[in-house]
Amino acid sequence: MKSIVFFLAIFLLSGCGDGVTLYPAKGTILLQNGQPVTQGTIECESVDNSKKLNATASIQKDGSFELETMGNKGAVAGKHKVTLIEPPGNSDLPLDKQPKPQFSPIYRSYDTSDLLITINPDNNNNLNLKVAPAK
């Protein structure tokens, strides 16, 4: 019984055994006119890490976000490709009352997005992104 408790404690203390170090990363997403992106999700895929870990966050009404990886605050160090995901539509609303897209569709895919961030282990990673508006 003691060995089970010991291994369980080691597992929990080691961050689920993943060995990944996360660094705080938060910021804002603004349209090119300075207005905040008020909803959606930011997703960042690590480029420098062989595991291709994703960090995500909900975008708040003021454009702010705080990245999380595997349910823990922060992101792995290194470069990350960035995508932005619009919130889903509301099936209770008619088509003409659906929320209008805020940002250009180029940000929906890692293949077309030109957004790139770098998570630095030696600073607070205050990330500020400017994006093109939807047309």
Would you say 53 and 72 are in contact if contact means Cβ atoms under 8 Å apart? no
Element (H, E) at 56: strand 54-58
Mean pLDDT by 10 residues, the chain (135 residues): 43 52 96 96 89 92 97 95 90 81 96 96 92 95
**Residue 72 placed within a domain:** yes
Structural domain of residue 34, as residue ranges? Answer: 20-91+98-131
**Residue 63 placed within a domain:** yes
Q: Is the pTM of this model over 0.85?
A: no
**Residue 125 placed within a domain:** yes
**Residue 44 placed within a domain:** yes
DSSP β-ladder status, 26-31 and 41-46: unpaired
Number of domains in the chain: 1
HEC assignment per residue over 15-43: CCCCCCCCECCEEEEEECCCCECCCCEEE
CATH number of the domain that residue 25 is part of: 2.60.40
